[in-house]
Amino acid sequence: MTAPDPAPAPAAPREWWRGAAIYQIYPRSFADSNGDGIGDLPGITAHLDYVARLGVDAIWLSPFFTSPMRDFGYDVADYCDVDPIFGTLADFDALVTRAHALGLRVIIDQVYSHTSDDHRWFQGSRSSRHNPRADWYVWSDAKPDGSPPNNWQSVFGGPAWTWDARRAQYYLHNFLSSQPQLHVHKPEVQAALIDTARFWLDRGVDGFRIDAINFAMHDPQLRDNPPAPATNGVRTRPFDFQLHRYNQSHPDIPLFLARLRQTIDGYGACFTVAEVGGADAEAEMKAFTAGSNHLNSAYGFNFLYADALTPALVRDATERWPDVPGMGWPSWAFENHDAPRAVSRWVAPAHRTEFARAKMLLLVCLRGNIFLYYGEELGLTQVDIPFDRLRDPEAIANWPLTLSRDGARTPMPWRADAPALGFTSGTPWLPVGPDHGALAVTAQEADPASLLNLTRRLLAFRAAQPALQTGAMHVLAADGNLLVFTREADGQTLICAFNFGPEPLDWQPAQPDRWRIIERVGGGEQWALGGFAGVVAERLT
């Protein structure tokens, strides 16, 4: 008698983060609970029901740590405490508790490449060349003529070296001079950073977004960067005149990330995502996410700094992350705190409404994790901040040629008829957008056809489709304004088609009778695509 075939092994459960939708909150600008004009942790907690109703899986909080706020929290003075303007550790614990009760995971920023010069580590390091933390930062002697050790330039303008008379040496800073570079090559520095991650994991966080991680290690030989090739574009910073071969992107960074991942894995189902910018971003993102012992995911600036959203851009970005063994899992964002609002960047004002809707459908159809930036679900526009109201140090230094990041960090409009649109009872730290009242939450809640309600519908749609959550993606067409791709998983095949232009397009799949349209955004009937429209169809069995 022939033995029956063994039953197939059950499929491993999907990690919660794979295919997740994550909502980025910029704490200064989300909700102010105490009337000082600055958003805070209790304000976020009070509005988590709204976030949960969107249908996202997690929130990502931009920095809320103790900081002098010269770079608004990305200059950390204490990794293990909350800045008083945002609240207390007890407020953070209450936020995590409420988020988890609503089914939301909590991801926080970690800044491992640099600290504030107010940090006690740097205060010790600069005090002498012989103190216990003397080599926790990158120090170097001057050249014989007193000039900096090499030609490296900072992102925010000017040399990446500042002289410190106490040590009679230069220290490295890839960003502001008040953001000294940590010497992450040092095992004791790595251990201290991992201890900070452990502190927050013990408080219940579910993962980390790791800021500017490709800046975490430098070339110990301090070799000069070579000049960048000539370009027809406008260069507003000395940083742009170099190829950043030696001040960032060191090949030992993945070794540190593997050490970090080993600690994080001890806490269960956590999520880690790297932010990576620069000319070699894809190669670095793949190195930082390779295999199962590095970070879970990474995202770059393919869309964030793009001048236009085109089918060719989508094809190029997504095809760099094929569904093959050993390849990392991608993440995508159209907006964040460092980039102009997409509806102001990618489309003329006359078409913003329909474009924002098609853009949201595209986002939920992409393979990978997706990030929504606070207010993106409302279609918020970029705000023109006058020079005397600017807070962004990069924009102030390079005004008027660098577009201010402040314009994408303005207060969340909660109530159309309230002062400061319901963000604060005081004076907001940045002005509210003059057109944001019409986009406020209260205005859109009352409109079943609003972008807010469409976003809720589309996030629920994504969560219900196995192919959209984890399926492979294959681009079939990226011609002119037409983008067509398939998503496939667990026996489900979807075809997604988009028109990125204002004029209608005639399109239909091969054998159209084998497909059933299950979602549509924008005009058009059957397979025809109106201007700025998209359809998703499921193949019939």
Q: Is the pLDDT of residue 12 over 80?
A: no
Over range 501-509, report the average pLDDT. 95
For the whole model, what pTM was predicted? Answer: 0.95
Q: Is the pLDDT of residue 86 over 70?
A: yes
Q: What is the model's pLDDT at position 326?
A: 86
- Which of 370, 392, 300, 336 minimizes the C-alpha distance to 73? 392
Residue 67 token pair: 């900081």
Residue ranges in 33-117 assigned as alpha helix (H)? 41-46, 48-54, 89-101
| Predicted confidence (pLDDT) per residue in 191-216, tens digit | 999 999 999 999 999 999 999 999 99
Q: Is the pLDDT of residue 6 over 90?
A: no
Burial class (CB in 10 A: 0-12, 13-18, 19+), 235: exposed
Q: What is the model's pLDDT at position 1?
A: 47
**Pairwise pLDDT comparison (448 vs 326), residue with the higher score:** 448
- Which of 408, 389, 409 minimizes the C-alpha distance to 399? 389
CA distance 497 to 522: 12
Q: What is the model's pLDDT at position 387?
A: 86
Helix (H) or strand (E) holding 110: strand 105-111
Report the share of the chain in percent with pLDDT over 90.
89
CB within 8 Å of 101: residues ≥ 6 apart: none
CB within 8 Å of 179: residues ≥ 6 apart: 70, 71, 74, 75, 114, 115, 116, 117, 173
Over range 414-420, report the average pLDDT. 97
CB within 8 Å of 446: residues ≥ 6 apart: none
Residue 472 token pair: 């492979």
Output the DSSP codes for 338-395: TS--HHHHSS-GGGHHHHHHHHHHHHHHSSSEEEEETTGGGTPPPP---GGG---HHH
Question: In the chain, what are the domain boundaries?
Answer: 21-115+185-462, 472-539
Q: What is the model's pLDDT at position 8?
A: 46
The structural architecture, per CATH, of the domain 472-539 is Sandwich (2.60)
Residue ranges in 211-275 assigned as alpha helix (H)? 253-265
Q: Average the pLDDT over each of 3-17, 77-91, 129-143, 380-394 and give the range with the smallest value.
A: 3-17
Averaged confidence pLDDT in the chain: 95
How long is the chain? 541
Over range 453-464, report the average pLDDT. 98
Active-site residue, from 91, 109, 117, 275 = 275
Cβ–Cβ < 8 Å for 98, 49: no
Q: Is the pLDDT of residue 4 over 60?
A: no
Over range 454-474, report the average pLDDT. 97
Sign of CA dihedral 418, 421, 425, 426: negative
Side-chain half-sphere of 450: how many Cα atoms within 13 Å? 19
| Predicted confidence (pLDDT) per residue in 517-539, tens digit | 999 999 988 899 999 999 999 99
| Predicted confidence (pLDDT) per residue in 164-179, tens digit | 999 999 999 999 999 9
Strand partners, 25: 61
Between the CA of residue 528 and those of 351, 481, 504, 525, what are the distances in Å?
Answer: 19, 13, 7, 5
| Predicted confidence (pLDDT) per residue in 131-147, tens digit | 999 999 999 999 999 99
Q: Average the pLDDT over each of 152-166, 225-239, 251-265, 441-455 and give the range with the smallest value.
A: 225-239
Active-site residue, from 211, 284, 392, 488 = 211
Q: What is the model's pLDDT at position 389?
A: 87
CA distance 452 to 413: 13
Percent helix / strand / coil, the chain, rounded to 5 = 30, 20, 50
| Predicted confidence (pLDDT) per residue in 473-489, tens digit | 999 999 999 999 999 99
- Confidence category of residue 235, pLDDT binned at 50, 70, 90: confident
CA distance 97 to 91: 10
Strands 329-333 and 369-373: parallel
Burial class (CB in 10 A: 0-12, 13-18, 19+), 485: buried
Q: Is the pLDDT of residue 2 over 70?
A: no
| Predicted confidence (pLDDT) per residue in 277-319, tens digit | 888 899 999 999 999 999 999 998 999 999 999 999 999 999 9
Q: Is the pLDDT of residue 34 over 70?
A: yes
CA distance 47 to 415: 13
Q: What is the model's pLDDT at position 475?
A: 98
Q: Is the pLDDT of residue 101 over 90?
A: yes
Cβ–Cβ < 8 Å for 439, 372: no
Instruction: To the nearest 10°, report the CA torsion of 412, 415, 417, 420.
Output: -30
Cβ–Cβ < 8 Å for 361, 521: yes
Contacts 24+ apart (CB under 8 A), 508-516: 509/484, 509/537, 514/539, 514/540, 515/539, 515/540, 516/540
Q: Is the pLDDT of residue 427 over 70?
A: yes
Our answer to whether residue 275 is catalytic in this structure is yes
Query: Is 321 in a helix, a strand, or coil?
Result: coil
CA distance 62 to 209: 9
Q: What is the model's pLDDT at position 402?
A: 66
The structural architecture, per CATH, of the domain 21-115+185-462 is Alpha-Beta Barrel (3.20)
